[in-house]
A and B are shown apart, each in its own frame.
Chain A
Amino acid sequence: MAKQPENVLVFIEMDHGKVAEVSLELVCQARELADTLGVTVDAIILSGTNVDIHGETIISYGCDTVHTVCDSRLEFYETLPYAKIVSDFIRESKPQIVLFGATAIGRDMAPRVASDLRTGLTADCTDLQIGDHEDKKQKKTFKNILYQIRPAFGGNIIAAIITPEHKPQMATVREGVIKLSVPDKNRKGAIKPFENINWDELQFINTVLERTIHEKKVNLKGASIVVAGGGGVASKEDFDLIKQLAATLGGVVGASRAAVDNGYIGKEHQVGQTGTTIRPKLYIACGISGAIQHRAGMDQSGKIIAINNDPEAPIFNVAHYGIVGDLHKVLPMMIKAYKGKS
């Protein structure tokens, strides 16, 4: 019997008419993994309208075959039908690795699919690698398995999780942790409808009485300059200084969890493990002490300026410029200096 190809599969999530950026990041990651393993990259995409045009985009980032399921009932995500179609597709195509974005939808569906397939799932990975695993008890070595690397224990440690004896190996991966590669418009691939679906079996049992789609007001990920405030900001009024500096520099306002918890700014501005992972050209941390969870979301920034009145604050360990001082004085100085020079 011919050996199964055991590909790497990516679940493609649609984000209001576009392929979600995290899905493209996953395709890039899957390409790398597949090249290491000598296999191909598959993608599956469920949507309410024809998505062939998006198929081309997905291929340009490194996918070989895009499998599409198109039906008006799939326009909006619903757990049961989505999970069933994806589980059935996995059963049929037998990939060795399946990746989902660690988005609200990915984290709703992937556990259900893993449970259905009785395999392991690692949530919220920040890195994926291929390696071997020696099981000393069984005196057995598992070759080329997936290291699913993620923060654990509230972000205080990093754990490498493996699923040595079950297939597929499944993971959800955080948005922003994988760098997008440059798409190749000339890359060739196939777009195929997945048709082995028993539509009568699918349960569409939710009735949506009202649906509001929120505009993405903050584009933290796309910003080249982020000015962020933290627990060291004394009040909501003081947080305005952060906003002023951001406006002056043409940047976007970010925040640590402390600032969000204090109600200074909305959660959509939060940078860090429970917020957004970013790598802007310049990150200015104002009154942010730099808990591990925060640093993990911004330490890849090109340049980091840290302003804090505590010289021992851990944020200084990842900063390129450190200013020990009072925000009330330092931020206006920065605004003035920038206006004077630019």
Chain B
Amino acid sequence: MPLKLIVLAKQVPDTHNVTADAMKADGTVNRGALPAIFNPEDLNALEMALEIKDRIDATVTVMTMGPPRAANILREAMYMGADAGILITDRHFAGADTLATSYTLALGIEKVGDVNLILCGRQAIDGDTAQIGPQVAGKLGINQLTYVEEVVNVDKKSITLKRTLGRISETVQTSLPLLITVTSSANRPRTFGAKRLMKYKKARTSLEAEQEVKQSSTTGEYGMEILLEEIEQKKKGLKSKGLFLETWSADDVGADHEQIGLPGSPTKVKKVQSVVFAASELKKVEPTPEGIREMIVELIEDRTFG
């Protein structure tokens, strides 16, 4: 049996140049208004998983929870070398905080079953909470090691890795199963393989397959049965070519609806504001020896120096 690895990844809005306009009135994020990217540190986690796969017999599955378009990062993961992608999507997940999200992801991991190692980025750039990794490990009741920089050695039962926790760098050996979070300094994620790109750009989630069939089908309202049959055929075709991206709903993973989405989230956003800095009284200093000397004298006199 190959070692079974799961990489948890998130599609995130590119948080550079964001204004308060990108926020909805209820304080949640209007993700649609921003370009969506593969969370950078999740790419480091994926790279680490792929490096393990390069060394020993292992399979790498990338799992993401998000809206249907998060399938794009699953395809990107396939271009890089992942074996499979799973999209967990359901409108009932909307508004989930880290507790509800980790509950859902843990159920997804349990549905996959017998996973040896779970990897995820240290944190996502939209929330910067760094909570999902530890909370998924907590929900699964397994050990966690955060801030991992290098996997030194791994076999079926144990793993040796290097991590930095504040001022302490450790080489730690521990048993599997385990969840690790990976930092950006761990590696440089590989680029897409050209052949893999050609192949996996045709990979489709269940939802995408359905939509494509519906759009191209000529059967009208009377042809519902035919349509469903066509969808089944399409999925079968994708599966046989390894191009099917599993798509799971809340019910597919057996989620308790009280523990997902807004109802399952203890934290609420009360208020969102733009960042406001107290404006200082700016004194313009000329970039000349005289101007600068004057400033230095002022700072010596008001005892800022010394």
Contact = CB atoms under 8 A, between A and B. Distances in A.
B30 to A, nearest CB: 11
A289 to B, nearest CB: 13
Contacts of A152: 126-128, 272
Closest 6 CB pairs of A and B: A325-B287, A154-B15, A120-B266, A120-B267, A115-B138, A111-B131
Given A105-B166, A116-B138, A341-B293, A159 B271 contact: yes
Interface in B117-138: 125-135, 137-138
B292 interface: yes
Interface stretch (B17-25, B187-195, B203-211, B215-223): B17-25
B145 interface: yes
Interface stretch (B56-64, B170-178, B227-235, B239-247): B170-178
A77 B167 CA distance: 12
Given A15-B166, A154-B128, A162-B270, 14 more contacts: A109-B134, A118-B266, A152-B127, A156-B20, A157-B274, A158-B272, A159-B270, A159-B273, A209-B172, A299-B277, A321-B285, A329-B287, A330-B292, A333-B288
Contact of B277 (A205, A295, A325, A329): A295
B296 A120 contact: no
Interface string B141-181: 00111110000000000001000111111111111000000
A319 interface: yes
Nearest to A293: B275
Contact of B300 (A164, A210, A281, A341): A341
B27 A124 contact: no
B224 interface: no
Given A154-B18, A159-B27, A213-B168, A124 B267 contact: no
Interface string B243-274: 00000000000000000000001111111111
B296 A79 contact: no
7 contacts: A107-B130, A120-B267, A123-B128, A154-B126, A214-B167, A214-B169, A249-B305
Contacts of A165: 266
A163 B267 contact: yes
Interface string A206-224: 1111111111100000000
Nearest to A108: B146
A39 interface: no
Interface stretch (A1-9, A51-59, A300-308): A300-308
A207 B207 CA distance: 45
Contacts of B271: 159-160
Contacts of B125: 154
B268 A164 contact: yes
Interface residues of A, number: 91
B297 interface: yes
B292 A333 contact: yes
Contact of B283 (A108, A320, A336, A340): A320
Contacts of B135: 111-112, 114-115
Interface of A: 15-16, 76-77, 79-80, 83, 103-105, 107-112, 114-116, 118-124, 133, 147-148, 151-166, 203, 205-216, 225, 249, 281-282, 292, 295-296, 299, 302-305, 316-326, 329-330, 333-334, 336-338, 340-342
B265 A292 contact: no
A152 to B, nearest CB: 7
A154 B16 contact: yes
Nearest to B19: A156
B16 A155 contact: no
Nearest to B300: A341
B158 to A, nearest CB: 9
B296 A334 contact: yes
Contacts of A206: 143, 145, 172-174
Interface stretch (B1-9, B81-89, B96-104): B96-104
